[in-house]
Every structure is written in structure tokens, then in C-alpha cells.
Structure 1
């Protein structure tokens, strides 16, 4: 639970209050002008009416230049950020031909595979020549190549499960799989800070949804006990099945899941566990096998393991790993497998090659070096941010470290000042976070050198002082 400093909470609420009041005043004048000019569509309901539309027009557009920044290079340790300008208060952002070389602290390139790699890249190019960029077909038609079959075998072996199935998009892996796993008469118990893909998948399933306090096994047990006692709504019949959804590393908090305790609760009440390892697989654990390896959990104790290839493996797509019966069932019932175009063969080859590097099957120890490097980089960067006085969320070993900003005026100020000093960061605000909990999310990579990290820390410290987001006293420097 994030506790907002009292004064910060007041100033943040006051700032949002001003923005909302002036936004509604501008909307009132807009309605009057539309009425006078007969510029409205008679008989039509507004197609974009709602809080989200108001938020985008009156708040987001003011700081739109801090988001969607185009890059013109691979998302490695340093990137080329294309410069833009606007002549209409950010309604339209025009690209220039200039680009700034910036330290990349925003991409999920945890192991550095997103850039050219001496082992992966030649094999990806060869697969492109052999298989083409797309299969132009779903997996059940003509979209399964020898590479896809090999990838599913490799993933299952890597995560310690009997079988796996792969999909072309990480987000869809959750949103399309969950409705195939559970439906009406089932119960989903979801961590309050689970990713939007799981939330949408749960909503689309038709199952009853209950939420437990973030990463709190004791509250999970309370919810489970209460729901099992009550049964289904109205009929009070026993639930057909119960699945508990959690993440390995929470993407907006950088926090590790309390997986051993959660599994113990699920076993006690005979509930299935579903773990989303999008940000943890490949990034943590001695051999990169994710949160199960890091926390000493047997993968057999987790019923369904989900992960993506878009972070540590430098590719695209996602996977579900579980029992052979489960995977066979999903291959015959999940729309993302039956109807969606399969993963691009070069993307499949990228994942295969990256896994081989991580496991040392490329004949080198680069994989072990990368895993050691990201752990050292992450823990060093987190420690230094704490010493400077920033409020940093998350746990050690996690490559995600959100720095709390809170105030809406500090979101663009922090982002723009960092960009001026050639450091690219990603601010996150509503709807990605609750309205009052804006932050900038730092993502560390194994490709960052010590000099890169020192450069980032120096700039972030200066900008933190300028913007006023160091909410704790800095630790004195050792002589």
C-alpha cells in the first residue's frame, strides 16, 4: 500500500481540482460556440462522451509530448529519440529530421536482446529468408512451422512444465486465454493490481470476479473462505472452479509476488493458481527461469504459467505453460490459437536463440553474464535512488523501479527535463495508475554499463532536485 505524504496529497488534489474546473469551463464555452455555429450533429449521441474523453482532451493533451515519442534505432542501452514540435498546443505533434541520442531507461529490454546480437541476429535473418516475415495463417491452418513446434518444446522445458502453447501477442495471451479457462459458474480471485490484460480477460469470461488486497495472502485467504462458504450468487451452489490470478513482478510497482504464501493458501482451499510472468521470466532467477526459481517454488505447484517474449527475449508474443491436457484443451478452444495469425517465424527464431544463449547452449557463458549483470545493475540503481531520497517502489532483484511523482505538474516537468539532458524515461499516469499515484517507471537492462547507470543517476538526481520529487532526506555521502 502506497502512503502519500500528507502535504503532497493535498497539493496533488488541489492541482487536479484546478485542472478539472478549468477543463469544464472550457467545455461549457465549447458547447456554447457549437450551439451558436450549428456545428453539432442533430439527433446523434456524442460518440466520445465520458470521463476518459474529458481526461484526454483537458489533461492528457497538455503533456502529450511526453508520450508516444518515436525512436529511430533499436531499443538498446542508448536510443535515438526523434525530435517533435507542435503549433496547436499538442493536438498535432510534427516530427523533425533530427534525433537526440538518449540513455534508454524506459524499454523492457532486460537482457539486451532487443539490439543486434552476435548469436541471435544471424539466425533471425536466416529464418526470415527461409520462412518469410509472416505465415499469413492461423496455427490450426497453415501457420504452424517447425520453428513454432520447437519453440513450444523449448518454453515448456525452460519453465519446467510438461507442455506449452505460444501466441502472437502477449496481451492477447491473457485476454483470450482466460475466457477459455473459466466461464459462468466459476470464480476468479484477482490481485487488485493485476495487469489490464488479465482484467479484460476476466471480464470477458463471464465468471464471477472478486479482488484481494495487493500481494496480501492473508486477505486472499479471507476472500477464498468467504466465497467458498457463500457459493455462487443467488443459487449458492458450489463454484465450478476457482482460479487465483497473480503476477510474478507487478509491472507498475516492480514488486515481487509473495508466491510461496499464495500457493500455500490456494492448496489449502483447492484453488488453481495462474501466474503472469511477463516481467519476471528471463529477468530474475539464477538461470533466468523467473519468480519460481528466485523464490524457490516448484513450477509443478503453479497450475498455469503465463509469460511473454516481449521483454527479456527481445521479440513478440506470449505463452501458456501447464499440463499436457490443459495445453491440448487450449489449442482446441482458444480463439487466439484458432483464428489469429501465428507468431512471425523470425520472431520465433529470436526467442529460440535467446533461450539458447540464456541456457549457455550457444557455447558461451554470455547468458549467465547477462543475468548477473541485470541483477547487479538493478540492485545498484535501486540502492542509489533510495540514497538520493526518492520514493522508489518495488523489491531488490526487480529490474522495474517506479519513482513516485504524484503531482500532475511534475509528470511533464520530470520527463521533459530528463529528455533535455539526454535521458529517456517513461512517465506513467492515469489510466495506467490511479489518478493520484503518477510515477516515472525506470527499467534497467543488462546492456547498461556502469557509466550508463552513473549518467542516469546524475541526471535523475538533478531533475529530482529541480522538480521537487525527493520526498525523503538524502543519505550523507561516505568520505
Structure 2
């Protein structure tokens, strides 16, 4: 270690600072502190700095540097990354660039499924008619005087002169739309009148109107269920009911389609498991099914369902979108078809005003407690716009006609039976297709036989479903099942031949496979209505048969 006495005298003991700098710095610091103290709460900061400097002088230095850096950072003008001097363009050059600019699509088009959009028919004109003019593929294809077998307006009562006059008068008095949801000035007197008419017509305590039929199930079931509740459903329910079960947060079980032995075994197993678990609270329990199934056209066995629901203490939920106006001597649906009381057998009934009744919207039938709870707990009722008044009064007028005269219902049932009889007893067709719908269904559904599907596409319903489920579970956004697409294109050829060579319009069932949670097969549906006659329908049958035979040859 060097002795301080040995340090040369050349080095000064201190470095002199000019007095001007010292005095200037002192004045600046004095006035800065004086001004800073005028800020409310400044004395807390000064005390903090004093204590901090006393404990750790280096910390004061670091904090001062950070303070200076932050001030410089926030006051400095940010520089754009990669910024270069932009050339000055004239107005003409700017206009040319704008004209040349092509925005990227929000969703990239899928070339593999563009054919679906090109095959969607668009009817020209309005009103319920069996002979229509249609176009496809943005007007590239046009067909005149086509016999329409795709309409769900089964009774065609909205074409009655008295009903048309009611619609015109209502538009003059009420306008063309409602101003909001039911609870926010959307409902008018005609809405409540229709609810009373529906309850009286179907023999229930109350009813509730909805603006859209597709969202009724997905709003009603979640309104009555929670986590821990139990739902037992048929494995062929429609997409709207599937969505409702997903939104319910309940534990969902499926039984084999219309198999009451499968349902009873499942209910018995759940009952035994519940006894062993000794739950602190009894869960709500529902059986979910449909009157006429949207995908297959089969009819639910209501008496057996009622027996099982009473035995195991379940509530019965039935979607009657395609059975109301179709089943029963007066079109009152599944309960009348089996000659039982709706109020004592079905706890919640969901129906549509857009099928046999011919307007728009949906409704729910049940007791008054069920209806009252929906008015405060159902999302679609609370937040969706009400039906237009003219649609509501039109529905009331149709119900009145159905109550006075059931001739349209009886004729529809006779035509439906004839149509099914022609298809089911044709030996040539039975080798190729399988009719799945019940003879009393106004929509005939047919699909390829399992043997035909396996021979042509080397696939089964189970293999298609497994592939679809795999893609859903692995979150594959580009959902595509080759076997499904090939079979859909094959069925579309039948539709095209019937349209191009026979001027008859039929349709594939519109299915978005990635949304489906249950197995199903591609199929074609044919609708009949009360405004047709046997001769027209039989001629259409011959056209469809010829198309099937030609494509499958």
C-alpha cells in the first residue's frame, strides 16, 4: 500500500470549481425546491429522497438517472420503424393506386366447397306458390315454372284471402316491424293475443313468443338448467337442440334413436347411480326429443316417453317444429296424434310459426310458471327483437282457420301417405335408397343404403362421424371430410337432374358438418303441401325416380 506522504506534490489536493458555476447551481436548486414544494404532496417526496439518500446515496443517483431518462423518453418524438421518405404523389397517381388496390378477404375462400353456394336456388317473386321461377349461381342458371318440393309451408293457409287481408290491414295500422325486445316496448297487444290463441289452441296454461324459431330451444333449455343437472336426449335431435344442450352446462346422455329399451336402461342406470352418490340437492332432469325428427322424419313414441318420465321423475321437452300442423286430425301435433292431453304429458313444447303456420318466429307451450320464468330468464326473449305485428296477426288468423276447418290438415296427411307409399313400394328404388321418414311426415327423407354408400364411397356413417369428431377435437379449422363431400356431391347430382330434366325442385338437407355433434348421413328431403294434388305429386315422383335411377346407374 502506498504511503500518502510519498505522493508527489505535483498532484493538487482538490480540483477548484469556478464560483459562478457554484452560485448558479445553488440558485437553480433553491428555486427548484421552492417551486416543487408548491405541488400538493411534494413534501412526501422530499422526505422520501432525504431518507433514501441517507440510507443509500448510490440509490439516489440511480433514481435520478431513471427520472431523467423517463422524461427524455416521453418528450422525444417516436421514430417509425423502417420509415423512409415517402414520395409526393399527385392526385391522379393517388386515384390510380386506390383503383388498383385489392383488399384481402376476411375469410379465405375454400375452393372445395364453392359448389355448395352455386347450387343454392333463389326463388323469384314472393308469396306461397307451388310453381316458381328460380335462379342459381348468381343468375348464371335460370329455370321457369319449377314445381317446388322444398317449401315447409305445409298447409299453405297464408295464401287464403282472409289471411292476406289481415296482413295488409295490420301493416297499415302497426307498420312492418317491432321496435325492440318483448320486455322493452317490442310486444304490442297482438303479441299477447297470439300467446293466448296458442295456449287455447293447444290446450296449455300459457305460451311464450320468440322472434326466431331456431334460437328457441337454445334459449329455453339453458334458462331451466345449470351445472349438475341431467339431460337425456335422443341421438338424432336437430342442430338447434344440440346447441341447446351445449349451452345448458348440464351433464348430457344420449339414448339410441327412438329406442325405448335403450332409454329405460339409461334412466335406470342414472337412477341407481344417483342413489349411491347421495347428492346434497336433487338435480333437475329432462328428457329431450322431437315430435317429427328434423333429420329423419320419424315420429317419437310419446306414450312410452310419458310412462318413463313419470316412472323416473323426469320432465319431458319436445321440439314440435315439424309436427305441429302436420300430426293429429286438426294439426295440434304429437299429443293429438296419440290422443292424449298435452298439458298432462309434455312439460315443455317448442314449436315454429315458420313451418305449417306459414309466418315466422317460434313459441313455447307449457304451464304459467314455466312461461313466467322465461320472460326474465331466457336470453332470446329478453334481448332479441319481437316478431313484426303483421306476422303475429297472420298466425292468429291461420290458427282460427285451422280450428274452424281441418280439411287442409287431412289433405296434407293424405298426400304425405301417398308420397311415402310410392317411394317405399318401388322395388327398383329400394335397392338404392332407404326412406327413413314416417308415412305421416309431410317431409319425405331418403338416403343411400349402407351397401350403396360402402360400394361407391367406401365409407360408413360411423367412419364419417369419427373423422369429423377427430377434426373437431383437434381444433382443425379447415374442417373437411372427403367421404362426406363426395356423397353430398353425388346426391346433388340427383337434385340437378330432377331440376334440369323434369323441372322439379328437391333439396339436399342443409348440414354444416363441423357444427354437428351427433352422427348423421347425407340425405335428400321432399316436401308436400295441402295446395298440391295427387296428379302433380305423382308426376313429380316419377321425375325424382328417373333422376335417382339415372345418377345411380
Matched, 1:384 2:422: yes
Kindly provide the CA deviation profile for residues 9-41 of structure 1, in whole angstroms up to 9, marking residues without a partner as x.
xxxxxxxxxxxxxxxxxxxxxxxxxxxxxxxx9
Task: Determine the structure 2 residue equivalent to 1:440.
Answer: 524
Instruction: Measure the CA separation in 1 of the matches of 2:507 and 2:170.
Output: 33
Instruction: Measure the CA separation in 2 of the matches of 1:113 and 1:339.
Output: 31
Task: Determine the structure 2 residue equivalent to 1:301.
Answer: 345
Kindly provide the CA deviation profile for residues 363-421 of structure 1, in whole angstroms up to 9, marking residues without a partner as x.
xxxx3210111011000011011122342112121111112135444212101101112
Matched, 1:183 2:190: no
Match for residue 417 of structure 1 among 461, 482, 497: 497
Instruction: Measure the CA separation in 2 of the matches of 1:313 and 1:253.
Output: 21
Task: Determine the structure 2 residue equivalent to 1:168.
Answer: 211
Task: Determine the structure 2 residue equivalent to 1:111.
Answer: 155
Match for residue 379 of structure 2 among 335, 339, 345: 335
Equivalent residues of 1:306, 1:318 under 8 A apart: yes
Task: Determine the structure 2 residue equivalent to 1:142.
Answer: 185
Kindly provide the CA deviation profile for residues 96-130 of structure 1, in whole angstroms up to 9, marking residues without a partner as x.
5954221111111110135x321211001111111
- Change in Cα spacing, 1:117 to 1:232, as seen in structure 2 (3 Å) is farther
Q: How does 1:193-232 map to 2 (within 5 A)?
A: 193-231=236-274
Matched, 1:427 2:511: no
Equivalent residues of 1:63, 1:412 under 8 A apart: no
Task: Determine the structure 2 residue equivalent to 1:14.
Answer: none
Instruction: Measure the CA separation in 2 of the matches of 1:232 and 1:335.
Output: 34
Equivalent residues of 1:429, 1:437 under 8 A apart: no
The answer to which structure has the higher helix fraction is 2
Kindly provide the CA deviation profile for residues 335-357 of structure 1, in whole angstroms up to 9, marking residues without a partner as x.
22212111111110111010011
Task: Determine the structure 1 residue equivalent to 2:113.
Answer: 60
* SS of the residue 2:289 aligns to: strand
Measured after TM superposition, the shift of residue 312 of structure 1 is 0.5
Measured after TM superposition, the shift of residue 205 of structure 1 is 1.6
Kindly provide the CA deviation profile for residues 156-205 of structure 1, in whole angstroms up to 9, marking residues without a partner as x.
11111111111011011111111101111211111111111111111112
* SS of the residue 1:255 aligns to: coil
Instruction: Measure the CA separation in 1 of the matches of 2:441 and 2:200.
Output: 24
Measured after TM superposition, the shift of residue 82 of structure 1 is 2.8
- Change in Cα spacing, 1:215 to 1:336, as seen in structure 2 (3 Å) is same
* SS of the residue 1:464 aligns to: helix
- Change in Cα spacing, 1:262 to 1:451, as seen in structure 2 (3 Å) is same
Larger Rg: 2
- Change in Cα spacing, 1:268 to 1:185, as seen in structure 2 (3 Å) is same
Matched, 1:80 2:142: no
Instruction: Measure the CA separation in 2 of the matches of 1:233 and 1:110.
Output: 49
Structure 1: any 5+ residue segments left out of the alignment? 1-40, 85-92, 361-366, 470-479
Measured after TM superposition, the shift of residue 60 of structure 1 is 3.1
Instruction: Measure the CA separation in 2 of the matches of 1:428 and 1:337.
Output: 28
Instruction: Measure the CA separation in 2 of the matches of 1:233 and 1:312.
Output: 47
How many residues of Structure 1 are paired with residues of Structure 2 in the alignment?
A: 404
Measured after TM superposition, the shift of residue 81 of structure 1 is 4.0
Instruction: Measure the CA separation in 1 of the matches of 2:184 and 2:322.
Output: 31
Task: Determine the structure 2 residue equivalent to 1:358.
Answer: 402
Instruction: Measure the CA separation in 2 of the matches of 1:143 and 1:110.
Output: 29
- Change in Cα spacing, 1:341 to 1:210, as seen in structure 2 (3 Å) is same
Instruction: Measure the CA separation in 1 of the matches of 2:187 and 2:116.
Output: 44
Instruction: Measure the CA separation in 2 of the matches of 1:63 and 1:231.
Output: 47
* SS of the residue 2:184 aligns to: coil
Matched, 1:400 2:452: no
- Change in Cα spacing, 1:320 to 1:468, as seen in structure 2 (3 Å) is same
Matched, 1:278 2:329: no
Instruction: Measure the CA separation in 2 of the matches of 1:120 and 1:232.
Output: 55
- Change in Cα spacing, 1:220 to 1:58, as seen in structure 2 (3 Å) is farther
Match for residue 411 of structure 2 among 364, 373, 385: 373
Task: Determine the structure 2 residue equivalent to 1:473.
Answer: none
Instruction: Measure the CA separation in 2 of the matches of 1:440 and 1:372.
Output: 25
* SS of the residue 2:214 aligns to: helix
Equivalent residues of 1:231, 1:239 under 8 A apart: no
Normalised TM-score (structure 2)? 0.69
Matched, 1:257 2:300: yes
* SS of the residue 1:119 aligns to: helix
Equivalent residues of 1:166, 1:318 under 8 A apart: yes
Measured after TM superposition, the shift of residue 77 of structure 1 is 4.8
Task: Determine the structure 2 residue equivalent to 1:94.
Answer: 138
Instruction: Measure the CA separation in 1 of the matches of 2:508 and 2:392.
Output: 31
Instruction: Measure the CA separation in 2 of the matches of 1:334 and 1:436.
Output: 30
